[in-house]
Amino acid sequence: MLVDSGSGEPNEEAMVENSEITAGQLVLVATPLGNLGDISRRALELLESADVIYCEDTRRSSTLFSAHRIAVNGRLRALHEHNEASLCDQVVAQVASGQTVVVISDAGTPGISDPGARVAAAVADAGLLVTTAPDRRRSWRRSR
């Protein structure tokens, strides 16, 4: 169930305004389908500032980081269909500890047809913030 963070009242369609967003969030970041330049400024900012970045394939994602001169510094971790279920608890713990955790796929939006849906559901089910980029106007949170 979603909760309106302002009133705390249960509301299936409640959303949290971004002005209330602080550290401790999972962000699903859309990546370019073709041209590496087709990425939003906000997505690049998140990739630069995230505490941890989970990606479908570290080799493919490294190309994106190199193209935009983003230092990875050990923040890049693999998240794919074979390990996603086993990483859910780890990601929940990272977000709960106040970290900004980003999930990207090889191209497109994580959780649609790529890994990310299980992790996002686990974080939301824990009552933690799950949001998306580049569209950060509204975010969702489930209550326990």
For 54-104, write each residue's pLDDT tens digit: 999 899 899 999 999 999 999 999 999 899 999 999 999 999 999 999 999
Looking at per-residue pLDDT, the higher value among 136 and 45 belongs to 45
Model confidence at 139: pLDDT above 70: no
Rounded to an integer, what distance in angstroms lies between the CA atom of residue 27 and that of residue 97? 15
pTM of the model: 0.76
Task: Using alpha carbons, list the distances in angstroms from residue 62 to 67, 102, 111, 125.
Answer: 8, 15, 20, 31
Residue 6 is given by DSSP the state T
